[in-house]
Structure 1
């Protein structure tokens, strides 16, 4: 007779194996999107890259679109985790934490031409796939909100509406510089991009402001 402990261990092994297989399919999808684009993505291409059968993909996901959605979420979570790790490593100083969050956009694993190719594939689906659009809004909205929180911690004198607008402006600036560096790094260097972002951050934090501060 099999002991309860043996049964629990086997169940845990099965769960872990399922998670490993799902993750392998997600990572294979990210690589296929980066290399071939969304137009060339297929069950066959993904499974060949992952080294699994087509039946395994349909066992874990309701088709390619569901797998692309899971991949978008996975990539977004990894980027967010890298940003949060940078913030945590910056220590307790609010201004250092804000700068670490911004600077992380220009360091691996976030600054990566392959990641750009994957993002482009996701962006191409935003207008046609409601679930991708919702995930996009959640991902970018969460990033802007996190930046706004860090900004208000670093500069509590900034009124809440102004902090929101400043977070949008910094996000747009970072995204534009990130995009240019991934497309053609000969235009300017990473160090120059960081200097531009730091100047903008410093201006926003130190800008004289009139009126009461929203708490």
Structure 2
């Protein structure tokens, strides 16, 4: 936890609030997430939240966007590291979810909180729709370059497979490991190519 109520640059304080929202949501769940708890985690006074955000809903939405961007960056780094082969690039994009920083029980805890708000908060639904659309669009591009024909359905099916495996890996890593998850997705990918 950060030291209580320190003076920092505005960008640092805003980012501290975003990061703290993710931490508190993961630790306390939606019901236990409060302005006071987030501000204590960030080391700022509760009144400062209103300086950067209209309220806790806007802050949690900013945290969802930040987490989505962090995941996107990890997936893109995996693709970049995969080399030039289109099939390996598509596989890297899919299997990056089975390695840190994406494979993380704390991330799962925050993600469950975000998901639980998608049906009740329009801003969260919009962020969810946009992030999944971007994931599928990127995957469709990778699949097309790898030789898949029905890229839209392939992207939907592979996204659901990755989500399910990621969820199970985070919840119970004793059932199967990341290498097995990667093999499962690899087989599913080959079926679509």
Q: TM-score range by the shorter chain?
A: over 0.9
* Residue number in structure 2 paired with 1:107: 99
Are 1:133 and 2:125 an aligned pair? Answer: yes
Aligned residues: 186
Deviation for aligned residue 1:19: 1.4
Q: Deviations over 1:67-118 (max 9, x none)?
A: 0000000000000011011111112221111111011010000001111110
Output the TM-score relative to the length of structure 2: 0.93
Structure 2: which 5+ runs fail to align?
A: 1-7
Which of 36, 39, 60 is equivalent to 1:47?
39
* Residue number in structure 1 paired with 2:181: 193
Structure 1 stretches of 4+ moved >3 Å:
none
Question: Which one has a bigger Cα radius of gyration?
Answer: 1
- Give matches, 1:1-215, under 5 Å: 17-155=9-147, 158-159=148-149, 162-205=150-193
Deviation for aligned residue 1:195: 0.9
Separation in 1, partners of 2:139, 2:104: 21
Separation in 2, partners of 1:41, 1:189: 31
Equivalent position SS for 1:37? helix
Equivalent position SS for 2:118? coil
Separation in 1, partners of 2:69, 2:113: 17
* Structure ranking higher on relative contact order (CA contacts 8 Å, 6+ apart): 2
Separation in 2, partners of 1:143, 1:167: 9
Output the TM-score relative to the length of structure 1: 0.84
